[in-house]
């Protein structure tokens, strides 16, 4: 999140808080060119790649040449033979030729496919500052880190298993790590270049060049192309499609947006009632212990109340005692929280208050990434709390270890550097070109659906995600005209939270929905 990742900061100075903010900014600077470093076209057996000397790979030195290895995974009912490519595309200043950044990737290509017909899917996470290992080892790749039941332990052995839910059956996969995440690094000493790469516009420009260059180098420009983005990656994806189409000459047939932020204005703002509206159904789902099997029917009353009377009474404001009384009564009933607590908050329940208050008697605090997962509150008697998130902070450690081990020892691409699974520095430096809440990609999505009748989109959400609640996407999708076929964009909801794929049944269901999109069914 993966996750994932996106969220508003929990509390200044805490690591997960910075990622709970998951998003970026914009700054126009130099344009990018891609260096000629290309993945080798002839597969080498595992271990055949010559290991670079450790001194040559530590930042800010360039990443080593690409390594190609061959593998097979034996899964229920089938065996998949595939090639893995681990490498980097180097971005250079289009005018001076100065190296700007190395963007690392891991690609998996199934043996025997026709490149002109075989789909290729590019995968990017969010943050800003989150690496693609969340989606690679958590959901889609040929190997999966078996995290077991949530919450997991940061000291859990980082042992991977063959992934029965891999998407490799129906699409080749390229996992991208933007600069500052994974092993990707900025090479330039120019602060202007760094600011551009760590901005909304510069980030999209860099990633679109990397995608176009990878397609050309690997002779896949004819392939059907798809993009998967999680969290802030779901914000990136529509913008990537538009820039690939308008500037790079690359068309994309489909998008899978996992727990996306499509419009930041719907998630934040001191005087904005929308965040309370969009979170209420997910708070109710957690309070009622609902599963996705009965969720939408059971939450129909909450959704109708949230988008109707609740919003109306919130707009009436603090000076209307009758409106405030109605809000308190209804929110108390819906969330199961103490009425006095709800009254103190004016019926405006933010996710952090909900996370702490519902488990206060047990000394526990739930994860913003999934309200049904809790851990002990380290300061249960404090007025406020500073805690490690039971999902984000627990899962990132074994994921980082597992990805580093696979890259070096299974893919033959050792890098003498830390694998940045969640880079706080990137998150802190992100330039939003002003306020974050002015950024949105809904307009990009509308324009793409309007101009391209072939484009199809799935928006995927976990039911009890308090970071990017599903109801926000539902209301935003309602703002998109049908453009002849309203079914070209669909909303799918699964058990779980911000990274619903951490649950076995949800991961399998997400795979099936993605397969239908990619295969055009």
- pLDDT tens for each residue of 438-461: 899 999 999 999 999 999 999 999
Q: How far apart are CA 51 and CA 303, in angstroms?
A: 56
- DSSP-H helix ranges across 148-231: 191-197, 200-217
What would the 3-class secondary structure string for 35-68 be?
A: CCCCCCCCCCCCCCCCCCCHHHCCCCCCCCCCEE
The per-residue pLDDT for range 470-492, each reduced to its tens digit, is 999 999 999 999 998 999 999 99
The pLDDT of residue 520 is above 50: yes
The per-residue pLDDT for range 93-119, each reduced to its tens digit, is 878 888 999 999 999 999 998 999 999
This prediction's pTM: 0.89
Report which secondary-structure segment, H or E, holds 292.
helix 292-298
Q: How far apart are CA 411 and CA 120, in angstroms?
A: 20
> Which among 123, 138, 129, 125 is positioned nearest to 17, based on CA atoms?
129
Distances (CA, A) of 196 to 26, 32, 181, 273, 305: 7, 10, 16, 33, 43
Give the pLDDT mean for 244-257: 97
Report which secondary-structure segment, H or E, holds 93.
strand 78-93
Q: How far apart are CA 490 and CA 474, in angstroms?
A: 9
> Which among 192, 26, 186 is positioned nearest to 91, based on CA atoms?
186
User: How much is the pLDDT for 9?
Assistant: 38
Q: How far apart are CA 150 and CA 394, in angstroms?
A: 9
CB 359 within 8 A of CB 352: no
The per-residue pLDDT for range 399-424, each reduced to its tens digit, is 999 999 999 999 999 999 999 999 99
The per-residue pLDDT for range 267-277, each reduced to its tens digit, is 887 788 999 99
CB 402 within 8 A of CB 410: no
Beta bridge partners of 175: 106, 123
Asked if the bond preceding 241 is cis, omega within 30° of 0, the reply is no
When comparing pLDDT for 62 and 59, which is higher?
A: 62
CA 421 to chain centre: 12
Q: How far apart are CA 104 and CA 180, in angstroms?
A: 10
CB 473 within 8 A of CB 461: yes
User: How much is the pLDDT for 271?
Assistant: 82
> Which among 463, 509, 431, 420 is positioned nearest to 125, based on CA atoms?
420
3-state secondary structure of 521: coil
Left, alpha or beta for 24 (phi > 0: left; psi -120 to 50: alpha)? beta
The pLDDT of residue 24 is above 90: no
Q: How far apart are CA 275 and CA 256, in angstroms?
A: 23
User: How much is the pLDDT for 158?
Assistant: 87
The pLDDT of residue 362 is above 90: no
User: How much is the pLDDT for 32?
Assistant: 61
How would DSSP label each residue in 453-493? Answer: TT-EEEEEEETT-SSS-HHHHHHHHTTS--TT-GGGEEEEE
The pLDDT of residue 13 is above 80: no
Beta bridge partners of 448: none
The pLDDT confidence band at residue 40, using thresholds 50, 70 and 90, is very low
The pLDDT of residue 47 is above 80: no
Is CATH 3.40.50.1820 correct for 15-40+65-263+399-456+512-519?
yes
User: How much is the pLDDT for 56?
Assistant: 67
The pLDDT of residue 396 is above 50: yes
The pLDDT confidence band at residue 33, using thresholds 50, 70 and 90, is low
The pLDDT of residue 6 is above 50: no
Question: Beta strand 185-186 with 99-110: parallel, antiparallel or unpaired?
Answer: antiparallel
What residues does each domain of the chain span?
A: 15-40+65-263+399-456+512-519
């Amino acid at each position: 999140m993966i996750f994932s990742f996106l969220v508003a900061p929990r509390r200044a100075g805490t690591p997960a808080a910075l990622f709970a903010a998951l998003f970026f900014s914009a700054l126009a600077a130099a344009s990018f060119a891609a260096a000629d470093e290309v993945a080798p076209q002839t597969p080498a057996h595992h271990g055949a790649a010559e290991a670079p000397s450790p001194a040559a790979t530590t930042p800010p030195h360039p990443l080593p040449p690409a390594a190609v290895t061959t593998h097979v995974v034996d899964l229920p009912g089938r065996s998949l033979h595939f090639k893995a490519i681990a490498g980097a595309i180097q971005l250079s200043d289009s005018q001076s030729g100065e190296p700007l950044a190395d963007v690392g990737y891991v690609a998996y290509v199934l043996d025997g496919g026709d490149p002109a017909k075989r789909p290729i899917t590019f995968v990017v996470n969010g943050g800003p500052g989150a690496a693609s290992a969340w989606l690679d080892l958590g959901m889609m790749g040929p190997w999966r880190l078996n995290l077991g039941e949530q919450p997991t332990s940061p000291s859990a052995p980082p042992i991977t298993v063959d992934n029965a839910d891999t998407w490799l059956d129906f699409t080749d996969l390229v996992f991208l790590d933007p600069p500052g995440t994974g092993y990707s690094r900025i090479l330039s000493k120019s602060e202007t270049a760094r600011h551009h790469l760590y901005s909304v516009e510069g980030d999209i420009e860099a990633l679109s060049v990397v995608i176009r260059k990878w397609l050309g180098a690997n002779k896949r420009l004819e392939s059907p192309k798809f993009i998967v983005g999680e969290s802030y990656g779901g914000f990136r994806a529509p913008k990537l499609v538009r820039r690939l189409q308008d500037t790079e000459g690359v068309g994309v047939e489909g998008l899978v947006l996992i727990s996306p932020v499509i419009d930041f204005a719907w998630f934040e703002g001191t005087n904005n009632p929308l965040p309370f509206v969009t979170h209420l159904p997910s708070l109710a789902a957690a309070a009622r212990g609902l599963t996705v099997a009965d969720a939408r029917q059971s939450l129909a009353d909450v959704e109708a109340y949230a988008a109707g009377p609740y919003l109306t009474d919130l707009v009436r404001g603090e000076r209307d005692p009758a409106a405030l009384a109605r809000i308190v009564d209804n929110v108390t009933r819906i969330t199961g929280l103490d009425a006095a607590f709800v009254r103190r908050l004016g019926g405006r329940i933010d996710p952090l208050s909900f996370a702490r208050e519902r488990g206060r008697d047990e000394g526990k605090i739930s994860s913003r990434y999934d309200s049904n997962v809790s851990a002990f509150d380290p300061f249960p008697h404090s007025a406020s709390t500073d805690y490690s998130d039971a999902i984000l902070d627990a899962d990132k450690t074994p994921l980082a270890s597992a990805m580093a081990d696979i890259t070096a020892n299974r893919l033959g691409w050792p890098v003498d550097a830390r694998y940045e699974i969640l880079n706080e520095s990137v998150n802190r430096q992100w330039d939003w070109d002003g306020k974050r809440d002015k950024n949105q990609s809904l307009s990009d999505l509308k324009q793409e659906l309007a101009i391209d009748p072939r484009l199809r989109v799935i928006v995927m959400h976990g039911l009890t995600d308090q970071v990017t609640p599903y109801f926000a996407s539902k209301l935003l999708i309602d703002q998109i005209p049908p453009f002849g076929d309203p079914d070209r964009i669909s909303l799918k909801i699964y058990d779980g939270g911000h990274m619903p794929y951490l649950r076995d049944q949800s991961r399998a269901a997400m795979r099936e929905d993605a397969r239908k999109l990619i295969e055009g069914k």
